[in-house]
Amino acid sequence: MGFMGMGELGSVLASLMFFWAILKDHFPYRLRLLIEKYIEKLVKFVCPYIEITFHEFYGDEYMKRSKAFSDIQNYLSTKATSQASKFKADVVKGSKSLILTMDDHEEVPDEFNGVKVWWVLHKHVTNSKSFSYYPDSNEKRYFKLSFHKIHRELITGSYIDHVIKEGKNVASTNRKRKLYSNNPSKDWYSGWKNSKWSHVFFEHPATFETLAMETKKKDVIKEDLKKFTQGKDYYKKIGKAWKRGYLLYGPPGTGKSTMIAAMANFLNYDVYDLELTTVLNNTELRNLLIETSSKSIVVIEDIDCSLDLTGQRVKNKNKVEGNNKQKTAPIKGKEESDNKSSEVTLSGLLNFIDGLWSACGGERIIVFTTNHVDKLDPALIRRGRMDKHIEMSYCCFEAFKVLANNYLNIDSHELYAKIESLLAEINMTPADVAENLMMKSDEEGQASLNVLEYKLGLHFSGVPNSLLQQNESRLKAKQALLQATTCPFLFRTQSSCGQQLFKPLTQPFDGAFGC
C-alpha cells in the first residue's frame, strides 16, 4: 500500500486526535494517560510509517538555528521546484539568486535507492510567554520526514547524510563568493569584532572560456583543479595536507590575475588576496592564514616585489654570523612612515606553505604570481611547495581567437592568416590585443549618431613605449598587427548594422593605421 493509500486511515486517525484534543480536558487525569497510551499504540499498529522531525531552532532561551534544518531546506529547494505546487520565494542574504522553498504544509516526495519518502514543512505556534532572543519565538517550524518502517536503516543510515551533504553543496553553489583583503594588524581589534580580513562580494566575470590561452593548456589546468577538489580521501591516504600551490609567472598583462579569477569562478571558491607588505611578522602571517576558510584561494601577487625573498636567507645568515642584533627589513620601500619594518621571512612563509597552517584542514589553493620567475629563491618554488608552475606567455594565435570571439563575436576572418603569421613573429600581450579589440562604450554610444565619432571609437591606444626600442622591421610588423587586429572590428560593425555606415578606413589617423 502506498503512503497516499494510507491517507484515508490517516485522516480518520487525525479526526480522532482532533476530537480527543477537544474532549481530553473532561477526562480524569489517570484515564487520560491511559487513553493516550492506547491511541499511540493504535497509531503505531495501523500506521507502519516512521516520522522524524527536524526543528529549525534548538535551545530554550538562546535559540540557535539548526544547521541540519537549513541543509534540508536547501536540498528540498531543488526538489520542491519540480514537485511542489506552492512555493515561497526568499532572498537569502549572501545568495546569488532568489531561493524557492516549499510552502508550509506542502508535501514534497523524494526517492532514494528506489525508496519513497515524504517531506512536509510544518509550523507550530505556541502561546508561550517566555522571553526569547529569537524575535518570532512563538512560531516554530520543523521538517517532518516520513517513510516506511522497513526502510529505517537505509533512511537513518544513508539517506539523511545524503540530504545534508547535497544541501551543503546547494548552499555553496548558491552563495555569493567573497574577495577578502587583509587589514593592517593595528586595526584587527579596533571594532567590536575580530577583523583581520575585510571582504567584498567577488563578482569577477573571467572564466576559463574567456581566458585567452591554448585550449590544451587550459584543459590541463582545469583537470588539475578538478582532481584536487575531488582528492580529499587521496590526500588523507598519502598523509598530505589538502592544499595545492600554483605559481603563475609571465610578463605584465598576460593574464595572471585573470587566471586567478577564472580559477575561483571554476571552483566556486572564495579568494583571499594577501598583501604581504602590511604583515609585520610571521606570527601575524600565521594568524591571518589560520582565519582563512576552507574552499578558498589564497593569493600572493608579485611575491618578488612584496618580499625580498631571494636575499632573505643570505641576510639571515649574515645576521647570525655577524651576531648583528639589528632586525632585518626584507620588505622593499615599505611603510617608512609607519616606522615599523616587516619581519616576515621566507622561512615563515615556507613553513606555512609546507603544511603547519594546512593542519587546520579544508581545501585550500595558494597562488603566487610573479613577473620575474628567475628572481625567486629556488627553495620557494621547488615542486611540492608550488605543485604546478604555469607560464602565462604572450598572445599566440589560439589565444587571439579566444579574444576575438570574446570581444567581436567572430570565429574567423580573412585577416586571420595574416594575424597568425604576425603573432608568431612578435610578442604582444593578451592585454594589448584585448585593448585593441575593445569597443569603448562611451564612444560606441555616440557612434550610432555620428559616423565620424564612430571612427574615433575605433582608435586604438597608440603604440606602446617598449615598441620604440624595437628594431624597425619588428616595429613595422607590430604596426601591421595592430592594424590587422582592429580590422575585424570594422567588418563586424558593417555587417551587424545591416548597412554600410562607413567605409573601412583608408587613411591612418592619430598614429593609428587604417585597413
Ligand X SMILES: Nc1ncnc2c1ncn2[C@@H]1O[C@H](COP(=O)(O)OP(=O)(O)OP(=O)(O)O)[C@@H](O)[C@H]1O
Query: Binding residues for Mg ion, per CB under 5 A?
Result: 256-257
Is residue 256 near ligand X by the rule CB under 6 A?
yes
Instruction: Pick one of ligand X, Mg ion, none as the site partner of residue 108 (Cβ within 5 to 8 A by kind).
Output: none
DSSP-assigned letters across all residues of 242-311: SEEEEEEE-STTSSHHHHHHHHHHHHT-EEEE--GGG--SHHHHHHHHHTPPSSEEEEE--HHHHS-HHH
Under rule CB under 6 A, which residues in 314-373 are in contact with ligand X? 371
Q: Which stretch binds ligand X (CB under 6 A): 13-21, 71-79, 175-183, 249-257?
A: 249-257
d(CA 252, CA 337): 29
Nearest to 254 by CA among 434, 461, 394, 437: 394
Here the cell at position 53 is: 522531525
Is residue 255 near ligand X by the rule CB under 6 A?
yes
Nearest residue relative to Mg ion (C-beta) = 257
Instruction: Pick one of ligand X, Mg ion, none as the site partner of residue 258 (Cβ within 5 to 8 A by kind).
Output: ligand X
Is residue 253 near ligand X by the rule CB under 6 A?
yes
Instruction: Pick one of Mg ion, ligand X, none as the site partner of residue 393 (Cβ within 5 to 8 A by kind).
Output: none
Beta bridge partners of 115: 112
Q: Does residue 392 contact residue 259 with C-beta atoms inside 8 Å?
A: yes
Binding-site size for ligand X (CB under 6 A) equals: 15
Q: Binder to ligand X among 74, 258, 393, 486 (CB under 6 A)?
A: 258
How many helical (H) and strand (E) elements, i.e. helices and strands, does the chain have? 20, 15
Helices marked H in 175-281? 215-229, 232-238, 256-267
Q: Does residue 372 contact residue 252 with C-beta atoms inside 8 Å?
A: no
Looking at the Cβ atoms of 403 and 447, the one nearer to ligand X is: 403
Nearest to 414 by CA among 488, 497, 482, 481: 488
Which residue is listed with cell 615599523?
Answer: 340
Q: Binder to ligand X among 76, 164, 434, 505 (CB under 6 A)?
A: 434
Looking at the Cβ atoms of 261 and 484, the one nearer to ligand X is: 261
Q: Give least dist CB 369 to ligand X, A.
A: 6
Looking at the Cβ atoms of 264 and 280, the one nearer to ligand X is: 264
Sign of CA dihedral 479, 485, 486, 491: positive
Q: Does residue 369 contact residue 248 with C-beta atoms inside 8 Å?
A: yes
Is residue 430 near ligand X by the rule CB under 6 A?
yes
What residue type is 460 in one-letter code? F
Looking at the Cβ atoms of 208 and 357, the one nearer to Mg ion is: 208
Q: Give least dist CB 258 to Mg ion, A.
A: 8
Q: Does residue 338 contact residue 185 with C-beta atoms inside 8 Å?
A: no
Sign of CA dihedral 67, 70, 76, 78: negative
Instruction: Pick one of ligand X, Mg ion, none as the site partner of residue 386 (Cβ within 5 to 8 A by kind).
Output: none
Q: Binder to ligand X among 13, 47, 431, 475 (CB under 6 A)?
A: 431
Binding string to ligand X for residues 184 to 213, with x set by CB under 6 A, is what? Answer: ---------------------------xxx
Q: Give least dist CB 427 to ligand X, A.
A: 13
Half-sphere exposure of 412 (CA within 13 A, CB side): 2
Instruction: Pick one of Mg ion, ligand X, none as the site partner of residue 278 (Cβ within 5 to 8 A by kind).
Output: none
End-to-end alpha carbon distance in the chain = 78
What residue type is 228 in one-letter code? F
Pairing of β 388-391 and β 270-273: unpaired
Q: Give least dist CB 461 to ligand X, A.
A: 12
Is residue 254 near ligand X by the rule CB under 6 A?
yes
Q: Give least dist CB 266 to ligand X, A.
A: 14
Here the cell at position 200 is: 567584498
Q: Give least dist CB 441 to ligand X, A.
A: 14
Q: What are phi and psi of 200, to 5 degrees?
A: -130, 165
Cα 204 → chain centroid? 10
Looking at the Cβ atoms of 80 and 376, the one nearer to ligand X is: 376
Residue 322 burial class via C-beta count within 10 angstroms: exposed 0-12, middle 13-18, buried 19 and up: exposed
Q: Which stretch binds ligand X (CB under 6 A): 18-26, 87-95, 227-235, 252-260?
A: 252-260
Q: Give least dist CB 255 to Mg ion, A.
A: 8
Half-sphere exposure of 394 (CA within 13 A, CB side): 7
Q: Binder to ligand X among 73, 257, 312, 483 (CB under 6 A)?
A: 257
Sign of CA dihedral 305, 310, 315, 317: positive
Looking at the Cβ atoms of 243 and 256, the one nearer to Mg ion is: 256
Looking at the Cβ atoms of 371 and 479, the one nearer to Mg ion is: 371
Q: Give least dist CB 370 to Mg ion, A.
A: 10
d(CA 345, CA 285): 10
Binding string to ligand X for residues 363 to 382, with x set by CB under 6 A, is what? Answer: --------x-----------
Is residue 401 near ligand X by the rule CB under 6 A?
no
The contact set with ligand X (CB under 6 A) reads 211-213, 252-258, 371, 392, 430-431, 434
